[in-house]
Amino acid sequence: MSPSSIPETAVELNGGPSAIAQGHTQVPVIIERSHGWLGLNWRELWAYRGLLYFLTWRDVKVRYKQTVLGAAWAVIQPLFTMVIFTIVFGKFAGMPSDGIPYPLFAYVGTLGWAFFSNAITSGGNSVVSSANLITKTYFPRIIIPAAAVVAGLVDFAVALPVLAGLLIYYRAEVSWKLSFFPVVVVLATLLALGVGMLLAALNVKYRDIRHALPFLVQVWIFVTPVIYPASLVPSRWRWLLRLNPMTGIIEAYRASLLSRRFDWGSLAASAVLTLVILTCGLFIFRRTEKGFADVI
């Protein structure tokens, strides 16, 4: 039986050789492919929650293995990017920042973007990188890109103290809008999971995705209001900016953390697009996962 046939129907005898030696009756454990359009078995996913935890920490440890600074890289990346953006765009180019000190403006956008870009990059390569695991045992394959995204959340959390320090240094106003921050993080996580699953499924069959991913991230950041405010775009063209789901998310980061006005229209557009991308990514991933072990 090839490994790819396992998601369809698999039978495992519970007990093993020791049970046979002791004369115990073996109980067959049947693993069947879930039915339905999306085919998610929530009970099975919950049963494998320990594997999600293990793979998440595996990804975190591998990322910083044999590094001198370790997890400090999670802080260095957005911090140094903010410094470069401040010098080039804030000082030299005079980029507006909606009345917010540009270092703070850039760091909030960079922090949110760093989580998303790292999550989709890791998620897109996660299945191919876990080839040995996929071909040897059965488990819900969706756990692999999900673990890559959750690992990105760990880096995001590590970098938050620097953000808190900048908020204090610039005496940023904190209001009830801060309560929306976790909601925005969840929305960004779902978007990263949707994109990650889609790229992971495509990357198994088309290895060009691995080479195209860095280019995609580089282009995507410039069509997202990370280094510039959305208000810089003329109002008649702003609807194009809203077609990018990260636009509403980055703007909502700033609105919640810096007590700015929420652009509810942009945030609603991001939520709808996130739902569409998550559904499409899940659908394509579930339809193609049965052949991962044969193709990978």
Mean pLDDT (the chain) is 85
7 lies in which domain range? Answer: 1-33
Whether pTM exceeds 0.75: yes
Contact between 199 and 213 (Cβ < 8 Å): yes
* DSSP reduced 3-state for 290: helix
Residue 25 confidence (pLDDT) above 80: no
Contact between 248 and 267 (Cβ < 8 Å): yes
Percent with pLDDT over 90 in the chain: 60
Backbone φ, ψ for residue 27 (5° rounding): -105, 120
Quote the radius of gyration of the chain (alpha carbons, Å): 22
Contact between 123 and 142 (Cβ < 8 Å): no
pLDDT of residue 44: 87
Same domain assignment for residues 109 and 2: no
pLDDT of residue 38: 60
Backbone φ, ψ for residue 85 (5° rounding): -60, -40
Same domain assignment for residues 142 and 120: yes
Same domain assignment for residues 187 and 86: yes
Same domain assignment for residues 16 and 67: no
Confidence of residue 192 (pLDDT cuts 50, 70, 90): very high
pLDDT of residue 290: 83
pLDDT of residue 296: 72
Torsional sign, CA 223, 224, 230, 232: negative
pLDDT of residue 70: 73
Place of tokens 């106003």: 173
Provide the number of structural domains found in the chain: 2
Tell me the C-alpha distance between 109 and 140, whole Å.
34
Residue 21 confidence (pLDDT) above 60: no
Same domain assignment for residues 234 and 113: yes
CA atoms within 13 A on the CB side of 158: 19
Name beta bridge partners: 29: 12
pLDDT of residue 169: 95
pLDDT of residue 10: 40
Tell me the C-alpha distance between 205 and 12, whole Å.
29
Same domain assignment for residues 134 and 68: yes
Same domain assignment for residues 77 and 139: yes
233-264 per-position pLDDT tens digit: 998 888 999 999 999 999 999 999 999 999 99
26 secondary structure, DSSP code: P
For residues 203-224, average pLDDT: 91
Same domain assignment for residues 25 and 47: no
Backbone φ, ψ for residue 144 (5° rounding): -65, -55
Same domain assignment for residues 7 and 95: no
pLDDT of residue 63: 79
Same domain assignment for residues 186 and 231: yes
Same domain assignment for residues 207 and 237: yes
Percent with pLDDT over 70 in the chain: 86
Confidence of residue 284 (pLDDT cuts 50, 70, 90): very high
124-169 per-position pLDDT tens digit: 999 998 888 888 888 889 999 999 999 999 999 999 999 999 999 9
CA dihedral 265, 267, 273, 274 (to 10 degrees): -160
Name beta bridge partners: 28: 13
C-alpha distances (whole Å) from 62 to each of 66, 200, 201 are 9, 19, 22
CA dihedral 147, 128, 7, 5 (to 10 degrees): -170
